[in-house]
Structure 1
């Protein structure tokens, strides 16, 4: 495997993208809920958030890319809701849904369900997030996020932008397929 890390021009963009990362994480957790209970929710969140942050680092590798996202907007959760059937009973008063990034949700779903993609992404675009629960989940982690980690359950979301994720990894030097 040949990889070159994506160079960063600063850390401000992670702060700038935090609403997008948070909203996309929240959407994934609401569309594919973890087991009931606070601990299960937190364990699932500790797997999803790093996957979304890693996807954001790959998708928006420069300050310019992040700035363009903030300028043009993310597109929101509408198509994802329709695809998963979550649009049947929309909840009013959820402005965070406008910050959901469909590509980040798709890429994060792929990272949650494919260890090889996670390894490639980490080699190319390291993030400051703690990735232990993403890269080496224990039995409790896997149980709490069973739907989020299940390739068949996540297939519809993953398939949306899997080709562009693979192209991004290949363009950055990943040759490990």
Structure 2
């Protein structure tokens, strides 16, 4: 994985899990987190396609979760715990928006994963995004809120158009 992106992916995954909690139970939590992490990974790799891009976001920071929190009526920033607020600074609003779009639109998720083929992030080792692109019944049940189009729409719509444009540009470039 590229320099700097593990923090962005982990924080954005954490934010998605808190904003759209999984069904109860340990298995549901694990399955939902896997889906959120795969969506955040694909979104981050698309958003920051090169090692240089990833290094730059590490240098300047991704922006944080403030606007996202406001959209979903979540975290108010009143916590005194430093570690509670620290990870939120690594949330990338665009990555979260793109991940939400990918989780609610299977065709878009498939196109996004296809666009990553041959990218610097994919490298030589195969990466499986099946839980994102082809979720089974258990996956869908575990992440019912995370995959609910109406619930995630405010977040997904923030930057969905940019994602579609990015994927269309990749499709044209591949032809």
TM class, shorter-length: 0.7 to 0.9
Q: Are residue 152 (structure 1) and residue 174 (structure 2) matched?
A: no
CA contact (8 A) 2:47 2:95 kept: yes
| Pair 1:17 & 2:5 matched | yes
Match of 2:131 among 105, 130, 133: 133
The one of 20, 44, 67 aligned to 2:32: 44
Distance 1:41 1:72 in 2: 32
What CA distance in whole angstroms lies between the structure 2 residues aligned with 1:37 and 1:75? 32
CA RMSD, aligned part only?
1.7
Using a 3 Å threshold, how does the CA distance of structure 1 residues 71 and 89 change in structure 2: closer, same or farther? closer
Q: C-alpha distance in 2, partners of 1:116/1:47? A: 16
Residue 17 of structure 2 is matched in structure 1 by 29
TM-score by length of 2: 0.87
Aligned residues: 163
Q: Which runs of no fewer than 5 residues in structure 2 stay unpaired? A: none
CA contact (8 A) 2:9 2:41 kept: yes
1:1-177 alignment runs, 5 A limit: 11=1, 13=2, 15-88=3-76, 90-93=78-81, 94=84, 95-126=86-117, 127=122, 129-173=127-171
Q: Cα distance, 1:134 vs. partner?
A: 1.1
CA–CA distance in structure 2, aligned partners of residues 80 and 46 of structure 1:
21
Q: Which runs of 4+ in 1 moved over 2 A?
A: 87-93, 126-130
**Structure 1 residue 88 displacement after superposition:** 3.9
Change (3 A) 1:174 1:35: farther
Instruction: List alignment gaps of at least 5 residues for structure 1.
Output: 1-10
Aligned counterparts of 1:88 and 1:98: Cα–Cα separation in 2? 14
1: CA distance between counterparts of 2:63 and 2:76?
19
